Every structure is written in structure tokens, then in C-alpha cells.
Structure 1
Amino acid sequence: MISGLLGIIDKMRIEVFPTKDYVEPPKKTIFVQFNPEKYSLRHNVDFCDSQALGTSGTDLRFNRIEGEEVNFEFLFDSSGVVPPGKIKDGKGEESLMDKLADIGNALMPAVVNPFAEVQTVEKEVEEFKNLLMGYDGETHQTSYLKLLWGGYTLTCRLKSMEIDYSLFRKDGRPIRARVKCVFKGTVDYKVMVAKENKSSPDLTHQRTLKMNDKLTLLAEDIYQNNAYYIDVAKNNKLLSFRQIDTGKKINFPPIK
């Protein structure tokens, strides 16, 4: 509330994780120098195209819903007019004093030494790139990311990065860059299965038999049909569908 009364703008941050669990605190947190002016979302449904010989139409069969894609453009400027972005260890949430210090630095008149050379922006861009898409020799992966800005949150990985440099020093070194990033949403497999709660008869299911479980009722519950329990018994090489040991794992294959 105090931040809002003082007109303090929350900076977008990117949390960098080494693994897909997102359980432990991030190893780094990036606070961008400028909040993006906009972002765009893309949602894709993937279909399997099938067309019978001699026909003019195409039967689109659902395959999957792809992860969300989001495009952000980040601005880097090393002219000294605006305070640089920050990279902190761990979660690294900014305190109110940090935000007030940033406002104070931004309001102070920029004093330019005509004899001093302006810093190049290359170092900040390279560090940003390495955190988002650098290869980790221990995990053999690029980083897992969490984007946080206002009410928007996305667990994702960087899909692509395009860097445009502009405003150059006398020696040709850049002092401004626009970094266009495409992030692809990602969900841990266990979380995805729990969230989607798939119970389609077109998928393979596994059940562990509990006391008083009956194969006939389990098959009917999964396939919505009481005619498949014999096929399930054959698939699991059961001598009898009536006498099955408690704790045995039974596979229910998809209907072909």
C-alpha cells in the first residue's frame, strides 16, 4: 500500500531455477531495468491431419494443447540516465528502501562527464542471456524460469532470443539494446497429470488392487463398458479375474 501511495512501480522479475521442480528458492532473480511496454500470448492446439485417398476434406484429430508462449521485449540502456537492472542471489525480493533508492537515483539530474566514456551495454546483455539460456554442465539443461509481473505468472523456459543493438559509442560499442524473448510455458509431468486428471479410455491406466476391489467394476469404471474385463485379464496374464492378490498392479490398456 505504501508503495502505491508513493507511486513506486514494481519491476518485472525473472526467477532462475536449475531444475524443473520449482521447489527450492531460485538461484538468481533478475529485476529488469525497464518494465516491458507490452507482451503477447500465443496458445496453440496441435492436430493430426489425416485425409483419405480420393477425398477433398481433412479430418483434424486432436493431438495436444501446447504450452503457452509469451513474447516480451526488454530494453537495456547503459547511458547512465536510468539506473541499471538488478540481479540478486536467491529470491531477492526488493525492499521498500531499495525501491526508494531507485526513485532517488532516477530523480537526480544526470551529470555527464564529457571526458568520461559511456559504459557499453554488452556486459549486462550477456549476463542476462547466460542466465536465461546458458547451458548447465551439471543438469545438462538450460534454466527453468518463472516470470512475475503484476498478476501474471508463468513457469517456462526460454525458446528464443533476438538482440538488437542501437546507439553506439565512437568505437562502435553499443550503449542500448532491445532483447526480444519468446518463453514457452512448462509444467512438471506429475503436476500436469494431477491437474488434467485424465480418465479417458483411450489412455493406458494402472491401478493397484485394494481389498474388495473387483476387476469387473474397475474395468467398467475406466472404459464405461462392462465388456472389457476379460481383455484386461488377458493383457495382465491373469489366470482368473475373480481371485487377484491385493496390492497387485493391473494395467488397463487403451481401447484400439
Structure 2
Amino acid sequence: MIIEGFQKPDFRTGSLGRFAVQINPETFVRNYAIEYVDKNAPGKEGSQVEYNYSQPQTMDVEFILDGTGVLPPDGFPAGNPVSAAVKLDVKQKIEELKTVVYNYVGEKHEPPYVQLTWGTEIFKCRLQSLNVTYKIFKPDGTPLRASVKCAFKEHIPDQENAAVTEASSPDLTHVRLVKEGESLPLMCYQIYGDEKLYLEVAMANGLTNFRELQTGQALFFPPLANTAK
């Protein structure tokens, strides 16, 4: 599992580094919740519920940091002879984790925006809580093992949220995420019915090279009336 921190909510700007979990968790918990409003009729038992909104997802992750030498440190596969000679500095790793998920950053002095990546699972979020339990110590009190519990709350950037909830009319503002193999002219044709509008869209997004789109990149497509000449 890789945990990355960013200063900006686009999850690309102001990288704070990457934290690689020493040993991947056996499980993680992803929570989904829906908020309803009770519609109680006077004089009647029971209730009717009306959908209000879907709450942001949350994810709970727990993992171990071990500096006794029993587990291999970051960067060394199990069984590598170097693993026996290199031991993890648990306190240092906790500080590295806090830099990525907890410490205040930026002009607003607020915690980072965090992206969790585990295989094909990607979760964009912010830290809700961090709990560290130290378990084994050297004679001088230096911790050799820690159990780390993190709770994260989903954070969807405005552009991505608009891309999910947008209507399909070309007269409305669109935000689309670039899919693999898509080009700007193709996306313009899909939205406006005219691939020749790609230059105007490139200017609206400040693109210097419209041929170098990245998969997952969010692009702003202005209303057709404001784009067409």
C-alpha cells in the first residue's frame, strides 16, 4: 500500500512524498452510508424515509511497523540478505507518515490531501484520525514496533464530482476525466458534435500541448454558446 500526500485538492500539486507500508494490511474496511429524512405522518405508527444524500465514504486501515528485524524494511523483498542487516527506524517512519497525512501544510495551515493506492484500489481522502500503539522497546525506551490505525474520509475534487454528476447537454458546462486513448478533438466531438473546437477548449484549460493528455486528467468544457465562434 502506498500513501501519498498533497498540498492541493487536485491530488497532483504540491507533493509531500510517498509512504510505503512495510507490510500490506491483511484487510481494510471501506464504509458506505446513506442519509435519510424520516417522514412521519401524525397519528400513524412507523415512518417513511426519504433519501437526503450519500455520505462520503470512509476507509479504516491498520498496519504494523516493525524495527526488530523480524520483518523486512521498505525496499527489501522478504528473504533478501540485506534485510537482516537493516532494521526499520519506527519513530522515523511514524514522522514520515505524519508528514504525508497529518502535519499542517500550505498557507491555510491544514492537513494534506491523501491518496491511498493498493493494487487497483485508489482512494482520495483526508485523514480523520491516526492512532499509534507502541508495543516493544529497547532498554533506553526507543520503540521497536508500532501498530498504526488510520481512518480516512473520502474527498472528491470539485472537477471530478462534476464529471460524475453532470448533465449531457452541450449548452451546459462540462468537466470530463480523460480516458485511456482519448484525444481532445474526440472529446470535443462527443460533447459538442464538432471536433474543430479543440483549440478553444485547450485555451480554456491552459493546455500548451493538447496531444499530451494524461489518463484521469480533468478537463473543463465551456458551454457551446461561449465556445463556438
Read off the aligned partner of 1:107 and give its amino acid letter.
P
Query: Residue 54 of structure 2 is aligned with which of 65, 68, 73?
Result: 65
Give the percent of matched residue pairs that are identical in Structure 1 and Structure 2.
32
Task: Label 1:58 to 1:39 Cα distance change in 2 as closer, same or farther (>3 A).
Answer: same
Aligned to 1:128: 97
Aligned to 1:144: 113
Aligned to 1:52: 41
State whether residues 75 and 177 of structure 1, in contact with CA within 8 Å, keep that contact through their aligned partners in structure 2: yes
Query: Residue 81 of structure 2 is aligned with which of 84, 97, 107?
Result: 107
Q: TM-score, with normalisation over the residues of structure 1?
A: 0.58
User: In structure 1, how many angstroms separate the alpha carbons of the residues matched to 2:12 and 2:85?
Assistant: 44
State how 1:87-98 maps to structure 2 within 5 Å. none
User: In structure 1, how many angstroms separate the alpha carbons of the residues matched to 2:52 and 2:37?
Assistant: 6
User: In structure 2, how many angstroms separate the alpha carbons of the residues matched to 1:48 and 1:59?
Assistant: 8
Deviation at 1:43, TM superposition (A): 0.8
User: In structure 2, how many angstroms separate the alpha carbons of the residues matched to 1:120 and 1:77?
Assistant: 8
User: In structure 1, how many angstroms separate the alpha carbons of the residues matched to 2:118 and 2:172?
Assistant: 41
State whether residues 19 and 139 of structure 1, in contact with CA within 8 Å, keep that contact through their aligned partners in structure 2: no
Aligned to 1:19: 8
Task: Label 1:58 to 1:140 Cα distance change in 2 as closer, same or farther (>3 A).
Answer: farther
Aligned to 1:8: none
State how 1:4-43 maps to structure 2 within 5 Å. 12-24=1-13, 26-43=15-32
Query: Residue 80 of structure 1 is aligned with which of 59, 69, 73?
Result: 69
What is the SS of the residue equivalent to 1:76? strand
Read off the aligned partner of 1:31 and give its amino acid letter.
A
Aligned to 1:165: 134
Q: Deviations over 1:59-110 (max 9, x none)?
A: 211111122211111211122344433xxxxxxxxxxxxx6xx238733473
Q: Deviations over 1:199-242 (max 9, x none)?
A: 9xxxxxx979xxxxxxxxxxxxxxxxxxxxxxxxxxxxxxxxxx
Deviation at 1:194, TM superposition (A): 2.5
State how 1:175-186 maps to structure 2 within 5 Å. 175-186=144-155
State whether residues 120 and 173 of structure 1, in contact with CA within 8 Å, keep that contact through their aligned partners in structure 2: no
Deviation at 1:193, TM superposition (A): 2.3
Rg comparison, structure with higher value: 1
Number of equivalenced pairs: 173
Read off the aligned partner of 1:167 and give its amino acid letter.
I
Deviation at 1:21, TM superposition (A): 1.2
Aligned to 1:244: none
State how 1:207-246 maps to structure 2 within 5 Å. none
Task: Label 1:83 to 1:119 Cα distance change in 2 as closer, same or farther (>3 A).
Answer: closer
Deviation at 1:177, TM superposition (A): 0.5
Q: CA RMSD for the aligned pairs?
A: 3.1
